[in-house]
Amino acid sequence: MTKISGVAYPPATSQKYAASIVRTDDNRVYLYVEEQVIECSVEELAISPDIANVPLKVYFLCGWTFIPDDKSGIFAYLKRPGLANRFITKLESNFVSIVMCLFIVGACGLWGYRYALPWVSVKISNYVPDRAYVAAGEYMLEQLDIILKPSKLSFSVQNRVRDRVSQLQPELCDFRYPIKIHFRSGSSPNAFALLGGHIVLLDEMVGVAKTQSQLDSIIFHELGHVCYQHVENRAVYSVITSVLSSLVINDSSDLIQGLVGSGGFILTQGLSREDEKAADDFSKNAMIKIYGSIQPMVDIYKALNHSRETIPEWLSSHPSFDHRLESINKK
């Protein structure tokens, strides 16, 4: 009868003994340790997972642990299938499967970051209560008020813009929440949509607009962000990615986490540029619908193009104005 030799430890103690095990035809396993014989059925044994060159441990129900000198063939000897474990061990040790895994992981990573996560973010974003977004938008506005100054525009000008937006919005989209336009003063012409339907217009942007229709094209662009819920989806997306990246790379150094974060930032900027393009298209359609022309939009984009500092497009959240103008002018 074949014997497998190794070492054994008595229940819960660290004293080591030379030992051997024998399996009989009636599925009984005998552990021989010096003068002692420990017996149990094969079903009562537990075997540690087979991982690379890690020594295999056979646990007896009564607490004895046996470690064979040579672990190859121990599963077959003890007639223990352990199929799942053996399949994973094969995957881990086969060169071809490792290379395939590498390709699949790379493809999954890119696809997940580019398509699956944005899709999941949209789905989750729809389940978040409206009041949470509105409250978050109000908080964002409070934070912006630390760096922005109160608007110098008269209340009559502000209210005229607000009235026009509230008149036009039912024609443009079925908005999730009522639109609230806020006026502030900053350092350069800008406008942005916040969570919960809040839109901030800077005095400098109003100043750049030579006509009402030019200003409307900018407001329509921001309404596009609100209509498509870009900010909401992006907020959920950033929560998911920050949780996932902390889980995936939590074994790495801070420096590595920073580098991965920077890579993620650049990829996210790519998604943000797509949102900008969608908002431009929304604005273009709205301009055609309301004014029958996109010329005011082209004019104000050209005017804004002169007042912006240039940073590489791949690093920016917005496409370059040249690309935007080119895209708007396409039929």
Return the residue matching tokens 């350069």: 188
| 88 lines the binding site for another protein (CB under 8 A) | yes
| 311 lines the binding site for another protein (CB under 8 A) | no
Helix, strand or coil, per DSSP, at residue 318:
coil
| 46 lines the binding site for another protein (CB under 8 A) | no
Minimal distance, residue 198 CB to another protein, in Å? 14
Helix, strand or coil, per DSSP, at residue 267:
helix
Minimal distance, residue 126 CB to another protein, in Å? 15
| 101 lines the binding site for another protein (CB under 8 A) | yes
Minimal distance, residue 306 CB to another protein, in Å? 23
| 132 lines the binding site for another protein (CB under 8 A) | yes
Task: Bin 82: left if φ > 0, else alpha if -120 < ψ < 50, else beta.
Answer: left
Helix, strand or coil, per DSSP, at residue 6:
strand
What dihedral do alpha carbons 182, 188, 190, 195 form, nearest 10°? -60
Options 8-16, 20-28, 203-211, 292-300: segment touching another protein (CB under 8 A): 8-16
| 48 lines the binding site for another protein (CB under 8 A) | yes
What dihedral do alpha carbons 169, 174, 175, 176 form, nearest 10°? 160
Based on CB atoms, which residue is closest to another protein, 25 or 251?
251
Minimal distance, residue 153 CB to another protein, in Å? 29
# chain residues binding another protein, by CB under 8 A: 49
Options 14-22, 32-40, 75-83, 288-296: segment touching another protein (CB under 8 A): 14-22
Strands 58-59 and 149-150: unpaired
What dihedral do alpha carbons 226, 232, 238, 241 form, nearest 10°? -120
Q: Which residues from 137-166 bind another protein, rule CB under 8 A?
A: 139
| 176 lines the binding site for another protein (CB under 8 A) | no
Residue of 126, 108, 327, 295 lying closest to 213 (CA atoms) = 295
Residue of 124, 72, 57, 113 lying closest to 241 (CA atoms) = 113
CA distances from 140 to 16, 147, 279 (A): 65, 12, 21
Based on CB atoms, which residue is closest to another protein, 37 or 132?
132
The 217-256 site mask, x for binding another protein (CB under 8 A), equals ------------------x---x--xx--xx--xxxx-xx
Among residues 20, 32, 47, 57, the one that binds another protein under rule CB under 8 A: 57
Give the number of residues written for the chain.
Answer: 331
What the block records as the tokens of 172 is 């443009």
User: What are the φ/ψ torsions at residue 6 (nearest 5 degrees)?
Assistant: 180, -150
Based on CB atoms, which residue is closest to another protein, 221 or 234?
234
Residues that bind another protein (CB under 8 A): 9-16, 48-49, 51-55, 57, 65, 88, 91-94, 97-98, 101-102, 104-105, 108-109, 112, 132, 135-136, 139, 235, 239, 242-243, 246-247, 250-253, 255-256, 259-260
